[in-house]
């Protein structure tokens, strides 16, 4: 994308004199700025959505005052945070205290360089994309430890220590789980991984249910691996039920205790950037990335018809028991089905790969993370380690071996 942008810049007569390297640098800067803007906007939107989702799950309304339905609430919050006094505790290690939040932010923003948004839209098409993402994103722990240590606060220190232990422990099962996928594709390039998931096939190769060729449907082992990865990644980004580094009821705010204003906003920015990153990785690696779930426009029509029938049954039999019916799912799927049958162009668009499907999948995963967060209690430190070393790690190893055996059974590889 950077090269494309540079070529595009050079194609203008006025700008062609600047030279190829200058144009490349300029486009590099533009792309970096775009990614940063994406991360910032993403955080603002996600904070709003998270507040709304949590409110709805807790029979509340959430923000309602600033803007229609409180849509501008997070914008107002961001402005407020920017205006706040810049406080550095007297006894804090000033350099680390200032640098810590930026390290976290940079580590989580830089990973987006390798994330493909669609088949063409990505900053850098790396052949080691997956490796790059996993390795860079674990730099976050460095920033957390810096921030926690520099605060010179016992709660912050506890939070930082817990975070270090937690993130390093969960790197291992997460990495091994991803290796299982790499074993199937034979490449670390994220675009290649997505391209390998195109088309339609049977569920788990043999069960005759036509489903997209996503890796989550590739084999029972990869199906399990998707959830193992999701759990491990949730732990890696410090979200409930693994939010022990910042566990509010125990460590006040963990490593963020002493931070306020802009620096605190940076923590939030990186937290949501990390959540988005995890959602992107899950959808890239297991859910086919920007691939459409429908192979052709007939597939769209039939698929949505089936979804509508499911929605109908759900509305009648599940919702019917409650006093008030929620007909939005049924109505939405019905409208899309009718549109798909009436307008083939719409159906074709639905069946074609693109950024729409990518973002839909990401949104779904993020909603799942929010759902977890507003339902579960928090684990304890040692239970977290137990889960990591005794449950998730063996499972990921079994997955890795299982995938290899499965591929041998289905004939994808021969020895």
Partner 1 sequence: MGRLHAEEMILNMGPQHPSTHGVLRLKLRTDGEIVSHIEPVIGYLHRSFEKHAENLEYQMVTPFTGRCDYLAAMGSEHGYAMAVEKMLGIELPERVEYLRVIFAELQRIASHLVAVGTFGLDVGAITPFIYCFRERELILDLFEMASGARLLYNYIWIGGLAHDVPPGFVEKTYEFLDAFEKRVAEYNQILTGNKIFIERAADIGVMTPEVAINYGVTGPSLRASGVNIDIRRTEPYSIYDRFDFDVPLGQGAMGTVGDSWDRYYMRVLEMSESAKIVRQALDQLPVEGDVQAAIPRRIRPPQGEIYFRSENPRGELGYYIVSDGKNVPLRLKMRSPAFSNLSVINEIGQGWMISDVIAILGSLDIVLGEIDR
Partner 2 sequence: MSYFSNITNAITTLVDGMKVTMGYFVRAREHVTLQYPDEVWPIPTRNIGVGELDSYNTIRSKLVVDFEDCIGCKACERACPVDCIHIETFKAGPEEDIGTTKNGTKIKLRVTSFTIDMSECMFCDLCTPPCPEDCIRMTPDYQFVSNDNVKLDVTPEERWRDRGHLIYQFSKVSPEERAQRGAEAEKEAAAKAAALEAKRIAAEKAAAAKAAEEAAQKEVTEETQEVNPSQNMVEAAAAPEVTPPQAPPGPPTQAKPPVEAGMERVDLPMETSAVPENPVDKPVEKPAFTETPAEPETSTDTNDASKGETENG
Give the interface segment with partner 1, choosing from 65-73, 178-186, 223-231, 241-249 (CB under 8 A): 241-249
Are 185 and 222 contacting, i.e. CB atoms less than 8 angstroms apart? Answer: no
CB of 50 to partner 2, least distance (A): 13
Judged by beta carbon, residue 116 or residue 241, the one nearer partner 2 is 241
Contact pattern for partner 2 over residues 3 through 42, marking x by CB under 8 A: ----------------------------------------
The length of the chain, given as a count of residues:
415
Per CB under 8 A, contacts with partner 1 among 383-412 are 383
- Say whether residue 327 binds partner 1 (CB under 8 A): no
Among 204, 346, 374, 389, binds partner 2 (CB under 8 A): 374
Among 13, 14, 59, 90, binds partner 1 (CB under 8 A): 59
Torsional class of 59: left (φ above 0), alpha (ψ -120 to 50), beta (otherwise): left
Torsional class of 174: left (φ above 0), alpha (ψ -120 to 50), beta (otherwise): alpha
Distance CA 98, CA 78 (A): 19
CB of 170 to partner 1, least distance (A): 16
Judged by beta carbon, residue 322 or residue 414, the one nearer partner 2 is 322
Q: 53 is in the binding site of which of partner 1, partner 2, none (Cβ under 5 to 8 A by kind)?
A: partner 2
- Say whether residue 58 binds partner 2 (CB under 8 A): yes
Per CB under 8 A, contacts with partner 1 among 85-124 are none
φ/ψ of residue 210, rounded to 5: -70, 115
- Say whether residue 321 binds partner 1 (CB under 8 A): no
Distance CA 386, CA 378 (A): 14
End-to-end Cα distance, the chain: 39
Closest-CA residue to 270 (of 106, 79, 113): 106
Among 28, 183, 211, 381, binds partner 1 (CB under 8 A): 381
> What are the angstrom distances between the C-alpha of 253 and each of 152, 156, 233, 264?
14, 8, 21, 11
Q: Which residues contact 407 (CB under 8 A, 6 or more apart)?
A: 183, 184, 219, 413
Give the interface segment with partner 2, choosing from 23-31, 82-90, 152-160, 323-331 (CB under 8 A): 323-331
- Say whether residue 382 binds partner 2 (CB under 8 A): no
The continuous run of DSSP H or E covering 201 comes out as strand 200-203
- Say whether residue 57 binds partner 1 (CB under 8 A): yes
Across-strand partners of 207? Answer: 203
Alpha helices in 261-327 (DSSP H): 261-285, 297-313
Q: 56 is in the binding site of which of partner 1, partner 2, none (Cβ under 5 to 8 A by kind)?
A: partner 2
CB of 170 to partner 2, least distance (A): 17
Are 156 and 147 contacting, i.e. CB atoms less than 8 angstroms apart? Answer: yes
Task: List interacting residues with partner 2 (CB under 8 A).
Answer: 53, 55-61, 64, 319, 322, 324, 326, 329, 371-372, 374-376, 390-391
């Amino acid at each position: 994308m950077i090269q494309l942008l540079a070529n595009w810049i050079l194609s203008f007569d006025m700008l062609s004199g600047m030279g190829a390297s200058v144009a490349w640098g300029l486009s590099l800067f533009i792309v970096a700025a775009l990614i940063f803007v994406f991360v910032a906007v993403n955080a603002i939107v996600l904070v709003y959505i998270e507040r709304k989702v949590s409110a709805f799950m807790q029979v509340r309304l959430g923000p309602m005052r600033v803007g229609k339905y409180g849509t501008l609430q997070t914008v107002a919050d961001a402005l407020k945070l920017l205006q706040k006094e810049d406080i550095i505790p007297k006894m804090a290690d000033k350099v680390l205290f200032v640098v810590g939040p930026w390290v976290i932010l940079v580590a989580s923003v830089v990973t987006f360089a390798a994330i493909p948004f669609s088949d063409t839209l990505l900053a850098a098409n790396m052949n080691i994309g997956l490796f790059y993402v996993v390795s860079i994103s674990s730099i976050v722990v460095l920033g957390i430890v810096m921030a926690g240590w520099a605060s010179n606060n016992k709660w912050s220190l506890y939070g930082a220590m817990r975070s270090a232990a937690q993130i390093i422990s969960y790197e291992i099962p997460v990495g091994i789980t991803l290796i299982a996928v790499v074993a199937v594709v034979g490449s670390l390039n994220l675009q290649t991984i997505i391209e390998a998931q195109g088309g339609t096939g049977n569920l788990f190769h043999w069960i005759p249910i036509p489903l997209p060729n996503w890796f989550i449907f590739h084999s029972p082992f990869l199906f399990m691996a998707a959830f193992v990865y999701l759990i491990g990644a949730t732990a890696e980004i410090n979200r409930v039920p693994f939010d022990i580094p910042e566990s509010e009821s125990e460590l006040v705010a963990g490593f963020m205790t002493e931070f306020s204003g802009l620096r605190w906003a940076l923590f939030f920015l990186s937290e949501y950037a990390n959540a988005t990153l995890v959602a992107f990785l899950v959808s890239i690696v297991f859910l086919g990335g920007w691939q459409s779930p429908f192979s052709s426009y007939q597939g769209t029509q039939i698929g949505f018809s089936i979804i509508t029938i499911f929605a109908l049954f759900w509305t009648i039999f599940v919702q019917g028991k409650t006093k008030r019916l929620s007909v939005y799912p049924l109505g939405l799927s019905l409208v899309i089905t009718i549109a798909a049958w009436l307008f083939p162009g719409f159906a074709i668009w639905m069946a074609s790969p693109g950024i729409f499907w990518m973002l839909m999948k990401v949104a779904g995963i993020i909603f799942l993370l929010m759902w977890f967060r507003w339902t579960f209690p928090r684990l304890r430190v040692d239970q977290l380690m137990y889960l990591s070393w005794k449950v998730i790690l063996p499972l990921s190893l079994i997955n890795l071996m299982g995938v290899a055996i499965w591929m041998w059974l289905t004939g994808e590889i021969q020895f």
